[in-house]
Every structure is written in structure tokens, then in C-alpha cells.
Structure 1
């Protein structure tokens, strides 16, 4: 159940749907105030310097979460956890107030919400305690098509007319409200709260990433570079691309991180050899065509989106057999070493 400032949240009707509950929450004075404060916090540009690990360049231990992944971290082992590259996706944070255990998911589909919540809560909740859970939702700008776009594209269904962010955010809120756990909503920086216009008048997110300080639970906007989106960046991006066709991951978030040992256990994902031909075709497309084919928000993606997609295409072309990447269906395991880098463990 959802709580605001320790008080159970109740909508106008006990049978209210997710979009109705969400609309009421977005207008709550405490939610509005928290959103206004969050957008004034300067963005942290997170990078792992080349001199990482030297005495004069201390670096906090962090865990990075890609799209469709989740990770639950122990504050005694990890200081920061975060994600970015979210446009129509939602970054969901669930933190146990007593233990500090913090789970972060980068949700991109309504289909993963119900099972995804179960995955996150399994390692956050101590069933011997009456847990209270702080919750933050960040991302998902207002991508609802305007009337001219609807008229041009012929969009007719409610789903087509509501964009991608609103249905996903509504589904998450509905799922939280329907569960028995106590979810204290601290931040709801989504939709209208997280929308601006670019120089061409296109809607885009104010914030597309964040970091959580695990010891305190505090959040701030953040962006990451390649050095900090580790380990195994390309394979993890690849799983996002192909997992929708792997029945192993139906309705589930991608498993990535070993909470108790501070190691990455990147679970297998299979793909058909046909992906080689799909990747070859996409590789021949123009940048604008790749945006249209691969993004739910082509006008709102970051400058490195197309380059990242092309690197995934190259990997699929070189490795059409998924067993080369996950032989024979084993996790790819990475251990954090003393200088903070990651090494592959067989």
C-alpha cells in the first residue's frame, strides 16, 4: 500500500485504476514540493578516472543498472547505485528504512512490473521486521502525442494516444498500491514534473538518470559515462535488445548482481541466429532510421544512443551463437578487485 508522509494514501474511489491514483499523487502538495526540490539539485556526472584506486583519487564503490535490469545493494558493501539513459523508462528505487538495503530497477515495460517488484522485494524485505520502504520513481517524461501527431499517424487506441511513459508509470503505482507492503513515496519525478522542451519544441526529460547514496537513501540527478557503466557493458546492452524474445525472461527483470558478495552475476540470455541478419540490416540504416526503429522516444535520446546501438549490432554479427557468450548457459561473473576495477571470473 502507498503511504505519503506516514499516512496511508487513499484515492477518491477504492476501485481507482493506476492512472487515476497516479494523477492524484502527482498533485499532492508533498509530492510537488519534493519534485521542485529534486529538479534544483545539480546533476552529478559520474566517471571512473584513469587514476582510479590511487591514494589521491578515492572513488566510491558503485553499481550501475542498465535498462530492464535490477540490482539490490547492501550499504555495507556499496556506497552508490544508479542508472541513466531513461527517457520513457522509469527508474524505481525501493529502500528498506531500517536495514538500508536498496534495490534499483530500470523498468521499460508494463509486462515486467508485477514479477519485477517481487524480484526487488525478495532481497530488500526482512520478514522478521515490520518493514517500511522508501520509494522513488524518476523518469518517464510526458511523451503523450499532441493532436497533430495523432491526426497524422492515425493513432486511435487509448494506449497509442497516451504515449509510453504514462501507462508504465500507472502500472507501477497500481502495483504498489495493491501490495501489502508499506511503500512510503518520497519522490515521484515523472511525466509533467520531468518534462521540458528542447530548441525544436520537442518534449524531453529534465532528468534521465540518478544516483542513490545507500547509507542515507538520498538521491540526486546523475549521468554516467562508459567508464562507469561496467562491467560487461556490451553484453548487458545486448540482453536488453534480445531478452524480449527469450522466454526465460518473460515478465521478469534481468538478473545482474550478487547482493551478498558484491559481484556481478550476469545471467544468460539466448538469441536466435536471425539476430545476425536483423543487426546487419540495422547497421546499414541511417542514424535517424536507427532512432526510429530502436527507440520509443527518437527525439529525446542522448547523443551516444546510436553509437551504443551500433556496437550491439556489431556484437550480434560477430557472435550469432549465444552459447559463445554464455557457455553452456552459465552466468558471466565479475569480481571487484582492490583498485575498484572488475575482472572476469571463470
Structure 2
């Protein structure tokens, strides 16, 4: 069940030509309370997380998640949990109102929403039906530019229904709506509320990332630099890509962090010679070729998008056999040291 401003959210019954999730999403996007909350979120300054901030006992401690990952954190151990690099992806925050336990997921496909939500809730509380949750949705944007919308053939559906972001957002709110738990939707900075346009009408997301302050539950726009997306950055990036060919991760979010011990546990992932040959074929492509081939939103990616892919491909070429990375077929475990840095166990 979805609640807005303390009240159960209701929407007109779905029309025969439109799925129920679309009706719910469109109604939520027009809700005055959510529009006001989104404006307040967008008014915040974007915080930059740097690896140097993590050193020292008095510095902030955070957990970073990549695409298709999720992590649940204890406010007694972690100050912030967040993600970035989202264009057509959507970040979902679920926070237990009673104890502040917070779960964050970086969702990239409607296929992982139902199972992913169950994973998040199972890590938050033993009996989720007796607990109420604060929820934030941030990310995704209207990928269709004004020129594309105006120049396209007349369609039965609006231009914003095209692309990747709308179906994902629709699936998320429909799943929240359908479950028996009580979800208090606090922020809905998605689609049109997260879209800016340049002078040529090209569209971009306002924000690509966010962080949750675990003690207060406040969510702020955020960006993480290349050294703060730790630990095991390259292996975790590769795991996202190869997980789509691993039946063990079908329709699931990737587990990455152990809440009780404040440790990262990167479960083994297998890659084959197919990934090796793909890496060889793409490594020397031009930036524009890589963007058009590998991105769902080529014009909206961050400046380091291509470089990050090239580093993954280089790793795969240098380590063609997955057992070199997981020699005992066990998880790669990282613990937080006294100075805040992640150390391989």
C-alpha cells in the first residue's frame, strides 16, 4: 500500500487501454504533496563524496552501491548509503521508521523489481507487515527530446512513455501499491521531475545520484568520485554485466554488503570466453561507438562512462578466467579498517 502525507493513496480505476501501474505513476507525479517534496529535494546542494572523507575516526562512513546492487545498512555502523551513475536507472530507498535500518537499490530493469523489493524488505525486518516504511524514488528521466517528440509520427501514447525510465518507474510503484506493507512515499524525483533540457531540446537528468543520511533518513543529491565507489570497483562492475548470463541472479538484485558485520562480500561471478571476445572487440572502438552500443542514454552519460567500460574490458582481457579472481570460488570479503578504508580479508 502506498501512503502520501499520511493518507492512503487512491487513483481512478485503470482505463482498459492503460496498465494499472501507469495510472498509479501518472497520478503520483501530479500529487501536490509529492511535487512539493521533490522541489525541496532538488533545492538541496549536491554533496560530493571523496575517498579522503572516509579516513579518520570522526569522518563519515558510507556504503556505495552500483547498478543492479542493493545494500541494507545499520545507522549505528554507517552514516550514509548511496549510489550514482543513474540515467535511465532508478534508485529506491526503503527505511524502517522504527529503527532507521535503511535499504537502497539501484534498479535497472522492471524484471528485477518484484524479487528485488522482497530482498530489500527481508533484510529490513523479520515481519514487514507490522512495520511502516519511508520510501524515496530518485532517478530516471524523459529520454525523448522535444525534437524527437515533435517530429515523431502521431502516436496513441505520449512521448514520455517511450524509453526505459517510464516502464521501470511504473513497475516499481505498481509493486509497492500491490503489496500489503505500508509504504509512505516521501520523494518522487523521477521522469519529468528529474528532467532538464538544453537549448536544443535534448534531455538530461537533473541528478544521477543520491545519499541517505541513515540517522535522520534525509535524502540528498550526491555524486561519488572515482575513488569513493569502493571496494572492489572493477570486479563489481564486471559482476553487473555478467550476471545477466547467470541463472542464479535471474530477476534478483546483487547482494554486496553484510549489514551485521559492516563488510562487503562480493559473491563469485563467472565470465566466459564470450565476455573476453566482446571486450577485445569493443576496447578499441571510438567513444561515440561505445556510447551508442553500450548505453541506454548515450547523450546523458557521465564523462567517465567510457573510461570505466574500458577499464572493465582491460581487466577481462588480462583475467580471461574467472577463477583467477575467485580462486577458491568464495566471496571476496572487505572489512572497514580503523582509518575508514576498505581492506581485503
Could you say whether these structures have the same fold, taking a TM-score greater than 0.5 normalized by the shorter chain as the test?
A: yes
Q: Alpha-carbon deviation of 1:109?
A: 0.6
The superposition leaves residues 55-75 of structure 1 with CA deviations (integer Å, 9 ceiling, x where unpaired) of: 7xx421100010000000001
More deviation in 35-44 or 318-327?
318-327
Distance 1:312 1:158 in 2: 37
Distance 2:224 2:279 in 1: 26
Q: Alpha-carbon deviation of 1:330?
A: 1.1
Q: 2:230 maps to which residue?
A: 230
Q: 1:75 maps to which residue?
A: 75
**2:61 pairs with 1:66:** no
Task: Give the alignment's TM-score, normalised by structure 1.
Answer: 0.93
Task: Give the alignment's TM-score, normalised by structure 2.
Answer: 0.93
**2:46 pairs with 1:43:** yes
Distance 1:341 1:78 in 2: 13
More deviation in 297-306 or 240-249?
240-249
The superposition leaves residues 253-282 of structure 1 with CA deviations (integer Å, 9 ceiling, x where unpaired) of: 011000110000111221111111100111
Matching residue within 18, 26, 31 for 2:29 = 26
Which stretches in structure 1 are left out of the alignment for 5+ residues? none
Q: 1:320 and 1:152, CA in 2 relative to 1: closer, same or farther beyond 3 A?
A: farther
Q: Alpha-carbon deviation of 1:144?
A: 3.4
Q: 1:157 and 1:344, CA in 2 relative to 1: closer, same or farther beyond 3 A?
A: farther
| Residues matched between the structures, number | 342
Q: 1:272 and 1:152, CA in 2 relative to 1: closer, same or farther beyond 3 A?
A: farther
SS at match of 2:223: strand
Q: 1:120 maps to which residue?
A: 120
Q: 2:94 maps to which residue?
A: 94
Q: 1:310 and 1:150, CA in 2 relative to 1: closer, same or farther beyond 3 A?
A: farther
Following TM superposition, the consecutive aligned residue runs of length 4 or more in structure 1 with deviations greater than 2 angstroms are 52-55, 144-153, 155-161, 198-201
CA contact (8 A) 2:67 2:107 kept: yes
CA contact (8 A) 1:48 1:59 kept: no
CA contact (8 A) 2:129 2:182 kept: no
Q: 1:271 and 1:11, CA in 2 relative to 1: closer, same or farther beyond 3 A?
A: same
CA contact (8 A) 1:144 1:161 kept: no
Q: 1:5 and 1:197, CA in 2 relative to 1: closer, same or farther beyond 3 A?
A: same
Q: Alpha-carbon deviation of 1:113?
A: 0.4
SS at match of 2:124: coil
Q: 1:255 and 1:156, CA in 2 relative to 1: closer, same or farther beyond 3 A?
A: farther
Alignment of 1:306-321 (within 5 A): 306-321=306-321
Q: 1:33 and 1:14, CA in 2 relative to 1: closer, same or farther beyond 3 A?
A: same
Distance 2:62 2:309 in 1: 24
The superposition leaves residues 27-58 of structure 1 with CA deviations (integer Å, 9 ceiling, x where unpaired) of: 001000001111110000110218x5347xx4
SS at match of 1:45: strand
Q: Alpha-carbon deviation of 1:8?
A: 1.0
Q: Alpha-carbon deviation of 1:320?
A: 1.4
Q: 1:53 maps to which residue?
A: 55
Distance 1:22 1:157 in 2: 15
Report the RMSD for the aligned CA atoms in angstroms: 2.4
SS at match of 1:228: coil
Q: 1:14 and 1:300, CA in 2 relative to 1: closer, same or farther beyond 3 A?
A: closer
CA contact (8 A) 1:43 1:220 kept: yes
Distance 2:209 2:228 in 1: 13
The superposition leaves residues 150-200 of structure 1 with CA deviations (integer Å, 9 ceiling, x where unpaired) of: 9789x9999996110000000000010000100000000000000001354
CA contact (8 A) 2:121 2:128 kept: no
Distance 1:159 1:199 in 2: 19
The superposition leaves residues 215-261 of structure 1 with CA deviations (integer Å, 9 ceiling, x where unpaired) of: 11001100001221000000011111211111111000011000110
Q: 1:171 and 1:100, CA in 2 relative to 1: closer, same or farther beyond 3 A?
A: same
Which stretches in structure 2 are left out of the alignment for 5+ residues? none
Distance 2:317 2:245 in 1: 17
Q: 1:186 and 1:54, CA in 2 relative to 1: closer, same or farther beyond 3 A?
A: closer
Q: 1:210 and 1:160, CA in 2 relative to 1: closer, same or farther beyond 3 A?
A: closer
Q: Alpha-carbon deviation of 1:85?
A: 0.4
